[in-house]
Amino acid sequence: MANDEFFLEPNIGKPADKVGYFASRAGFDRFAAAYRDGMAELPTPSEQVAVATSFGPVRCYRFGAAGGTPLVLLSGRQASTPMWGTNLPGLLAQHTVWSIDSIGEPGASTQQRPLTRPADQAAWVAEAIAGLGLERAHLLGVSVGGWLATQVAIHRPERAASVTLLDPANTFAPLTWKMVTASLGSVIPGLPMWARYRLLSWVSGGVQVDDSVPEGRLIASAMRDFTSAQPKPDRPSQDQLSEITVPVLAILAGRSIVHDAQRAAATARTIPGAEVEVWPVASHAVTGEFPDRIAARFAEFAAGIS
């Protein structure tokens, strides 16, 4: 299978502009092989397109028949479409689903311009939704993908029918020292793969992560082989949160090492009309731990939105 079946002119070797890139061809090939293996585990996409945005082309996959207000999935840091394997069957039962690989993250999209502020992040998502011929969409994001969905709600609310946030990182509470340590450690050059897997397992609530897990192999390759140029995901201000008009469902993981879940929930409840829940036994790997519960809760939430 040729690289360009999925990938849109990937940046290989350090570019002049501050954009994400694969350090070498060998590193890209490693990542691409893991990506293909991960995609092979998913339902076959009904449509696969590339959408032009101001910050580069975005790879988008549609699952299910077109129609209605679709759901758009936003992956976490170092992740991409293959991470949604356990979630797609349940989500597809109720909605058309689009998964888009984020600009600036390792995946099949390609960053061509620097991202300098949160409004830039919201802009490329809004442009991708418009480029798919959609007026608006429900957004569901996990971790940094939840932060990204929140930025769309703040800066480009006309494109969001609703946002569902699964343990969003640096959105409602500061990152813990544990998460900062894991994030910094994961990008140390030359770090052995077993150590990267150990860090992933720590963030994911102790779940096994190794080469036998396609998602783990993909993210570990991303840590080793891809250099991100994402700006720091600044936490939204209280004023910004209080002015959100888009319907919000926030699910916080009680065992998350990313933040204090209760503190995050208290801040999330300042969003007018937000539905906020803490799932006590969930970790930051909530998408893999509770796929059916997430699908049912999202369907219930979205059913009340016109």
pTM: 0.91
Residue 243 burial class via C-beta count within 10 angstroms: exposed 0-12, middle 13-18, buried 19 and up: middle
Backbone phi, psi, residue 48, to 5°:
-135, 120
Number of domains in the chain: 1
pLDDT of residue 16: 85
Beta-bridge partners for 151: none
Residue 149 lies in domain: 3-303
Cα gap 174→260, rounded to integer Å:
8
Tell me the mean pLDDT per 10 residues along the chain, length 306.
73 92 94 94 95 97 94 94 96 96 96 95 98 97 97 98 97 77 53 56 53 71 85 92 98 93 97 98 93 97 88
Residue 252, domain CATH: 3.40.50.1820
- HEC secondary structure over the chain: CCHHHCCCCCCECCCCCCCCEECCHHHHHHHHHHHHHHHHCCCCCCEEEEECCCCCCEEEEEECCCCCCCEEEECCCCCCHHHHCCCHHHHHCCCCEEEECCCCCCCCCCCCCCCCCHHHHHHHHHHHHHHCCCCCEEEEEECHHHHHHHHHHHHCHHHEEEEEEECCCCCCCCCCHHHHHHHHHHCCCCCCHHHHHHHHHHHCCCCCCCCCCHHHHHHHHHHHHEECCCCCCCCCCHHHHHCCCCCEEEEEECCCCCCCHHHHHHHHCCCCCCEEEEECCCCCCHHHHCHHHHHHHHHHHHHCCC
pLDDT of residue 219: 79
pLDDT of residue 179: 62
Classify strands 21-22 and 226-227 as parallel, antiparallel or unpaired.
antiparallel
Classify strands 137-142 and 97-100 as parallel, antiparallel or unpaired.
unpaired
pLDDT of residue 177: 55
Are 107 and 84 in contact, with CB atoms under 8 Å apart?
no
Are 52 and 9 in contact, with CB atoms under 8 Å apart?
no
172-200 b/e (C-beta count within 10 Å ≥ 16 → b): bbebeeebeebbeebbeeebeeeebbbbb
